[in-house]
Amino acid sequence: MEAVAEQVFIALADPTRRAILAALASGGPATATDLARRLPISRQAIAKHVALLAGAGLLSPEPGERRRVRYRLRSAPMRVAQQFLAALARDWDGPLGALRDHLDRGARRRSATSPDPTRGHHG
Amino acid sequence: MGFPDRIERTVQLAHPPAAVWAALTTAEGLGSWFGDEATIDLRPGGLARMRWAGGPTVEMRVERVEEPTVFGFTWPIYGLPEEDPRRTYVEFTLEPAGEGTRLTVVETGFAQLPEDAYRKAYDGNAQGWAKELAELAGYLDAA
């Protein structure tokens, strides 16, 4: 599972591969020729990177028109990488700080309004 | 370097468990410090919904309610598509500490595999067969 995430991050570390993946994500399956037409990258460079991405399981080749291979983005590895990122992005420190402030505000409000036993409400 | 599966934080709060429990488990509490608006059906299996102004709405399923010590729920993994069945489990534990409360939050399940369920089913099946074959062998031996 970590190996899968690693493949995704290696793929994304290169600007050409990011451009290829972004083009497939936004425009759908495409051949190496289509990609060379759409991106400012040589056909040879695209072929090299596409082969690497397919080898890593991030693209799946499928038969296209006129016997050309089309490449389709495989989302499963991206989702694994996203799980990794979700753990890194989970912020409990912010909400726990907000919880502390919320409780302190409530306590201040209660002591300010005592001996009134009704709890203050927002507004 | 492991895939991070578990996140844990402990904070000391200068308020008794009952006050902390109310902040964690009521719509008013959750809608004040956590989200901007919340609803909650506080019972195992009950649904809670949290909304952030100008942001997402998250649906949580209440899993554990042991007032005033344990509150647990599951929610979707941030960033995964809505239909993805994987969820993380969040558990708050409240312990009295002097006048206040020691609050621990543990979130687990970030590293769960989508294939986990299948593998378990497969292993269970394989073990089931091994047991049945052993019983068959025993039956045949006895005969």
Average pLDDT score over residue span A13-37: 94
A-B contacts at Cβ under 8 angstroms: 86
A116: pLDDT strictly greater than 80: no
Closest CA of chain B from A79, distance in Å: 6
- Residue B14 and residue A93: Cβ atoms within 8 Å? no
Instruction: Report whether CATH 2.40.128.110 matches the domain A2-80.
Output: no
pLDDT band at B92 (very low <50, low <70, confident <90, very high): very high
Average pLDDT score over residue span A15-22: 95
Q: Which residues of A touch B119 (CB under 8 A)?
A: none
Is residue A115 reached through a cis peptide bond, with omega within 30 degrees of 0 on the bond before it?
Answer: yes
Cα first-last separation, chain A: 48
For residue B3, give the nearest of A11, A92, A79, A83 by alpha carbon.
A83
Domain-wise residue ranges, chain A: 2-80, 91-123
- Residue B80 and residue A79: Cβ atoms within 8 Å? yes
Average pLDDT score over residue span A32-50: 93
B110: pLDDT strictly greater than 80: yes
CATH topology of domain B6-110: Alpha-D-Glucose-1,6-Bisphosphate; Chain A, domain 4 (3.30.530)
CA distance B64 to B25: 11
pLDDT in tens, B9-32: 999 999 999 999 999 999 999 999
Q: Which residues of B touch A5 (CB under 8 A)?
A: 3
Half-sphere exposure of A98 (CA within 13 A, CB side): 15
pLDDT on residue A107:
81
- Residue A96 and residue B105: Cβ atoms within 8 Å? yes
- Residue A87 and residue B110: Cβ atoms within 8 Å? yes
DSSP H or E run through B40: strand B37-40
B121: pLDDT strictly greater than 50: no
pLDDT in tens, B34-73: 999 999 999 999 999 999 998 889 999 999 999 999 999 9
Residues of chain B whose beta carbon is less than 8 angstroms from a beta carbon of chain A are 1-5, 7, 9, 11, 13-15, 19-20, 23-24, 29, 32-34, 77-81, 84, 86, 103, 105, 107, 110-114
B117: pLDDT strictly greater than 80: no
Q: What is the pTM of this model?
A: 0.76
For residue A73, give the nearest of A6, A13, A12, A14 by alpha carbon.
A12
Domain-wise residue ranges, chain B: 6-110, 113-143
pLDDT on residue B139:
65
User: Of the given ranges (A11-15, A88-92, B1-5, B121-125), which has the lowest mean pLDDT?
Assistant: B121-125
pLDDT band at B126 (very low <50, low <70, confident <90, very high): very low
Residue of A2, A7, A78, A103 to mutate, testing the B interface (most B Cβ within 10 Å of its Cβ): A103
Q: Which residues of A touch B103 (CB under 8 A)?
A: 96, 99
